[in-house]
């Protein structure tokens, strides 16, 4: 019997209720539940494999693309519980993303030709790597629609940077990182002229339209992409698809597959066969094989051309320098996934039943021997398929993407048309197992499954259609992420998770212990630049300045008040409000908004955020804290007073509350009684080994911090009482009680934690 049930028992006995009676009232056996809910033993097994009891944590954290939502969705494996949405290309009000000035500055980096683009079509997230293993420091994600890439810092899960691709009009083959995150790759999809705002008719497609691949240089120390040190390769106007970096023996090389090497231009409205026919007519397309380390040297040697201010290695240079090769791939290929040992590249043929396993060793041998079967129309050497392929394996209909197991040679490939996952051996070319999924799987993902050290255990199938899996919610269905146990020979389907925010193309998952996010910022930090915020102030330094028609507030937030509690402006003034959250306690976030001015800030402990607007409407606008941060959260408020032109006050005093001496005495008694409770809680906490629990130590510090704010208030209310000013005497005494309530709240939380986590008496 554990401690809690022992305690429950003793309480029950104390209350005079027999144990048998309690059991009869509460207990339903496992068999009862299985029967009542119509569950099988298999269901029970699946539940046991995914259930994470309260107080325990998941083993892996998954970062899912948010598809058309332009965001990232963070969820945990195996419970499949959603932990967070991260605003990336799209404003996200909860985080104030796009509603405060600091995050607006990040979104503004994603403007194209001066225009705001407030959505994104996110496809492929990538976690930063060290020696080919996930290191949990940064996350990158691309926007296919408007060729952009974003950098998210995993210390605070915030978007820090958006960079716009200077030469593409779309971008699908990113983000994928090199084994030490020196570069992030991004390949175009829909060919277009590389020079900005250049018009060429579709009749000049073959001559003037181009594809390409961009290598973004990443500065890990600064946590930012360096556009000036990045470069691209001009590629033929094939539809470049996905990419992957080589590793181990293939480190220094990257691979980008393609489709529509027919270079077909549709025109169904003019009676031409549509794109889908023209772009899949040939039996093969091309895998691009690129020596990126050598390409970086070519750029350093000044052999790149500047297009739109960006370094581009033109195709003829790439051919001459021997850094670009093609290999045929059957048929309308999709996905290219390098094996953990870096020896093989696996490409699926969407319209073929096969996957092709390319051998890096064979590709290198052909290049060294100068053994090419032909050249493409742009003069790029083409290596023969048979000279590059290790094995081709028939897996099923519509193979798309491949991920790897922790066991050598084992891979999993999604079969879109068959709605299945195939488990197979890519060294020997043998199919091992198949599992049906629901329905039409796109990507799939194993734990750290595209790194050099996949962790096995689980696989998530990212199904495009859910159809009948969930309670219907109208014609637009959620996506269905299905969790699959891959730890045994046979795969077992465990769980269906609806994902109701766009179409997530890809997910990456990392061991939870590798993530080391912070719980607070250094006081006064602008979280979007990671630098001290110029508007930050400490307690007691709050002020409001007015210069001409500019009102600037340097304010603070702490349970449960906003300083200042009134902001005055004249109509037409520009109002800038800097707010610093002075809390040190974990999870004590305050929010801030002003009625009808379309601003919102999420101010986590230590952060400083700015909101700014033109007070263009005279009137009275409440502002308040938007996070339920404390018992008196609803009282965390103030007024923005926007005065009309030439306004003069007629009344100069605020209404009084008519408090009496009796009110004051009652408050003083309440304060004394509450102090007694606090003292008893403190006595308990200090009687046990609370210092062994860091979370409790933080709570205790915070509690004393709250209590410390009562300093000087006793003298204050007593001085007013001596003058018989019962209003001020009573309210200052009330303020002491407010701090006591917060102290008691924390103390009780700490006490409960200690009781539940087995704290021991020290005396």
Rounded Cα gap, residues 423 and 485, in angstroms: 12
Of residues 251, 405, 627, 663, which one binds ligand CUA by CB under 6 A? Answer: 627
CB of 169 to ligand CUK, least distance (A): 16
Q: Closer CB to ligand CUA, residue 142 or residue 593? A: 593
Footprint of ligand CUK on 132-161 (CB under 6 A) = none
CA distance 156 to 290: 35
Query: What residues numbered 8-67 form the site for ligand CUK, per CB under 6 A?
Result: none
242 contact choice in ligand CUA, ligand CUK, none (CB below 5 to 8 Å, kind-dependent):
ligand CUK
* Count of CB atoms situated within 10 Å of the CB of 210: 24
Q: Is 177 in the site for ligand CUA (CB under 6 A)?
A: no
Q: Which is nearer to ligand CUA, 396 or 605 (CB)?
A: 605
Q: For tokens 């066991």, what's the residue?
A: 407
What are 141's strand-pairing partners? 125, 150
Q: Which does 442 bind (CB under 5 to 8 A by kind): ligand CUA, ligand CUK, none?
A: ligand CUK
Residue 390 binds which of ligand CUA, ligand CUK, none (CB < 5-8 A, kind-dependent):
none
Nearer to ligand CUK, 260 or 681 (CB): 260
Minimum separation from the CB atom of position 628 to ligand CUA (A): 6
Could you tell me the CA-to-CA distances from 70 to 65, 88, 239, 689 in Å, in that order? 8, 6, 22, 47
Kindly write out the interface string for residues 565-604 of this chain, putting x where it contacts ligand CUA by CB under 6 A and - elsewhere.
-------------------------x--------------
Task: Name which position in 585, 629, 688, 744 contacts ligand CUA (CB under 6 A).
Answer: 629
What is the rounded distance in angstroms from the CA atom of residue 241 to the CA atom of residue 256? Answer: 7
Nearest-approach distance from CB 742 to ligand CUA, in angstroms:
11
What is residue 194's DSSP assignment? S
- Of the candidates 147, 145, 212, 133, the one whose C-alpha atom is nearest the C-alpha of residue 177 is 133
Per CB under 6 A, the list member of 167, 194, 213, 242 interacting with ligand CUK is 242
Token pair recorded at residue 664: 């004051």
Where in 164-183 is the site for ligand CUK (CB under 6 A)? 172
**Smallest distance from the beta carbon of 259 to ligand CUK, in angstroms?**
11
Distance CA 641, CA 621 (A): 6
Cα angle for residues 111, 114, 118 (degrees, 5° grid)? 35
Among 633, 670, 714, 716, binds ligand CUA (CB under 6 A): 633
Q: Indicate the residue among 444 and 523 with the shorter CB distance to ligand CUA.
A: 523
SS3 697: helix
Least distance to ligand CUK, CB of residue 455, Å:
21
Binding partner of residue 693 among ligand CUA, ligand CUK, none, CB cut-off 5 to 8 Å per kind: none
Which is closer to ligand CUA, CB of 111 or CB of 584? 584
Q: Do 610 and 105 meet the contact criterion of CB atoms below 8 Å apart?
A: no
CB of 333 to ligand CUK, least distance (A): 11
CA distance 176 to 61: 18
Q: Of ligand CUK, ligand CUA, none, which one sits near residue 627, judging by CB under 5 to 8 A according to partner kind?
A: ligand CUA
- Report in angstroms how near the CB of residue 519 gets to ligand CUA at its nearest: 17
Among 484, 625, 671, 685, binds ligand CUA (CB under 6 A): 625
DSSP state of 656: P
Mutual angle of helices 19-26 and 3-14, in 10-degree steps: 120
The only residue of 334, 481, 559, 578 in contact with ligand CUK, by rule CB under 6 A: 334
Range list of β-strands (E), 601-648: 601-603, 608-614, 619-624, 637-643
The verdict on 127 binding ligand CUK (CB under 6 A) reads no
Least Å from the CB of residue 596 to ligand CUA:
20
- Please say whether the beta carbons of 185 and 245 come within 8 A: yes
Specify the stretch interacting with ligand CUA by CB under 6 A; choose among 95-103, 200-208, 407-415, 622-630.
622-630
User: Min. distance of Cβ 243 from ligand CUA in angstroms?
Assistant: 45
366 binds, among ligand CUA, ligand CUK, none (CB under 5 to 8 A by kind): none
CA distance 262 to 428: 33
3-state SS, 444-513, equals: EEEECCCCCCCCEEEEEEEECCCCCCCCCCCCCCCEEEEEEECCCCCCEEEEEEEECCCCCCCEEEEEHH
Specify the DSSP element, H or E, that contains 12. Answer: helix 3-14
Judged by CB under 6 A, the stretch of 88-96, 214-222, 296-304, 628-636 that binds ligand CUA is: 628-636
- How far is Cα 123 from Cα 142, in angstroms, rounded to an integer? 6
Q: CA angle, 179 as apex, 174 and 183 as ends, to 5°?
A: 50
How many of the chain's residues bind ligand CUA (CB under 6 A)?
7
636 binds, among ligand CUK, ligand CUA, none (CB under 5 to 8 A by kind): ligand CUA
State the binding string over 724-763 for ligand CUK (x if CB under 6 A, else -): ----------------------------------------
Question: Could you tell me the maximum CA-CA distance found in the chain, to the nearest angstrom?
Answer: 102
**Alpha-carbon separation of residue 425 from 339, 355, 357, 580 (angstroms):** 12, 12, 11, 56
- Site for ligand CUK, residues 427 to 446, rule: CB under 6 A: 442-443
Per DSSP, 89 falls in state: S
Distances (CA, A) of 496 to 77, 434, 480: 12, 18, 6
What are the residues binding ligand CUK (CB under 6 A)?
Answer: 123-124, 172, 242, 334, 400-401, 442-443, 505-506
What are the residues binding ligand CUA (CB under 6 A)?
Answer: 590, 625, 627-629, 633, 636
């Amino acid at each position: 019997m554990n401690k809690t049930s022992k305690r429950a028992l003793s309480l029950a006995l104390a209350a005079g209720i027999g144990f048998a009676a309690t059991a009869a009232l509460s207990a339903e056996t496992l068999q009862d539940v299985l029967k009542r809910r119509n569950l099988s033993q298999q269901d029970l097994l699946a539940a046991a494999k995914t259930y994470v009891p309260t107080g325990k944590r998941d083993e892996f954290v998954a970062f899912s693309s948010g598809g058309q939502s332009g965001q990232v969705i963070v969820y945990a494996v195996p419970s499949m519980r959603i932990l967070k949405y991260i605003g990336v290309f799209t404003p996200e009000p909860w985080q104030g993303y796009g509603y405060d000035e600091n995050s607006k500055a990040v979104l503004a980096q994603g403007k194209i030709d001066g225009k705001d683009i407030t959505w994104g079509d996110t496809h492929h997230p990538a976690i930063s790597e060290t020696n080919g293993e996930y290191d949990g420091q940064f996350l990158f994600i691309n926007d296919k629609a408007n060729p952009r890439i974003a950098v998210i810092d995993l210390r605070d899960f915030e978007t820090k940077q958006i960079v716009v691709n200077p030469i593409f009009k779309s971008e699908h083959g990113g983000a994928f990182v090199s084994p030490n995150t020196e570069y992030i790759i991004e390949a175009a999809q829909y060919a277009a002229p590389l020079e900005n705002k250049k018009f060429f008719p579709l009749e000049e497609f073959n001559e003037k339209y181009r594809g390409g691949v961009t290598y973004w240089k990443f500065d890990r120390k600064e946590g930012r992409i360096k556009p000036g040190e990045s470069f691209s390769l001009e590629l033929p106007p094939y539809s470049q698809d996905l990419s992957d970096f080589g590793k181990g023996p293939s480190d220094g090389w990257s691979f980008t597959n393609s489709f529509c090497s027919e270079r077909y231009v549709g025109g169904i409205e003019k009676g031409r066969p549509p794109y889908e026919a023209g772009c899949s007519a040939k039996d093969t397309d091309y895998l691009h094989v690129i020596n990126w380390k050598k390409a970086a040297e070519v750029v350093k040697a000044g052999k790149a051309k500047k297009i739109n201010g960006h370094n581009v290695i033109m195709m003829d240079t790439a051919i001459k320098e021997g850094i670009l090769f093609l290999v045929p791939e059957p048929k309308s290929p999709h996905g290219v996934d390098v094996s953990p040992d870096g020896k093989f590249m696996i490409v699926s043929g969407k319209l073929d039943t096969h996957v092709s396993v390319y051998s890096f060793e064979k590709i290198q041998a052909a290049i060294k021997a100068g053994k090419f079967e032909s050249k493409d129309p742009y003069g790029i050497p083409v290596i023969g398929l048979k000279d590059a392929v290790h094995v081709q394996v028939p897996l099923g209909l519509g193979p798309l993407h491949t991920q790897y197991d922790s066991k050598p040679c084992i891979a999993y490939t999604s079969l879109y048309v068959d709605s299945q996952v195939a488990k197979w051996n890519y060294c020997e070319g043998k199919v091992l197992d198949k599992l049906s999924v629901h329905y039409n799987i796109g990507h799939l993902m194993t734990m750290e499954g595209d790194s050099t050290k996949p962790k096995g255990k689980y696989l998530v199938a990212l199904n495009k259609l859910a159809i009948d899996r969930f309670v219907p919610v109208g014609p637009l269905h959620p996506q269905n992420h299905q969790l699959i146990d891959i730890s045994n020979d046979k795969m077992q389907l465990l769980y269906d998770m609806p994902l109701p925010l766009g179409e997530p193309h890809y997910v990456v998952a990392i061991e939870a212990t590798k993530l080391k996010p912070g719980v607070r910022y250094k006081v006064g930090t602008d979280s979007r630049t990671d630098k001290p915020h110029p508007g930050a102030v400490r307690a007691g330094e709050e002020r409001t300045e007015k210069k001409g028609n500019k009102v600037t507030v340097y304010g603070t937030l702490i349970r449960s008040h906003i300083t200042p509690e009134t902001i005055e402006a004249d109509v037409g003034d520009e109002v800038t409000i800097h707010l610093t959250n002075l809390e040190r306690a974990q999870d004590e976030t305050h929010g801030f908004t002003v009625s009808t001015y379309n601003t919102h800030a999420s101010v986590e402990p230590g952060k400083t955020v700015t909101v700014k607007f033109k007070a263009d409407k005279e009137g009275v606008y409440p502002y308040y804290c938007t996070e339920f941060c404390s018992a008196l959260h609803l009282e965390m408020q103030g007024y923005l007073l926007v005065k009309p032109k030439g306004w003069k006050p007629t009344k100069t005093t605020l209404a009084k509350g008519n408090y009496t001496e009796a009110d004051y005495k009652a408050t003083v008694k309440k304060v004394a009684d509450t102090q007694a409770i606090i003292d008893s809680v403190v006595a308990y906490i200090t009687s046990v080994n609370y210092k062994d629990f860091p979370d409790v130590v933080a709570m205790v510090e915070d509690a004393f911090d709250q209590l410390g704010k009562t300093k000087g208030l006793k003298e204050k209310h007593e001085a007013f009482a001596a003058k018989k000013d019962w209003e001020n005497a009573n309210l200052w005494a009330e303020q002491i009680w407010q701090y006591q309530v917060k102290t008691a709240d924390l103390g009780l939380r700490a006490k409960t934690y200690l009781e539940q986590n087995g704290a021991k008496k020290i005396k």
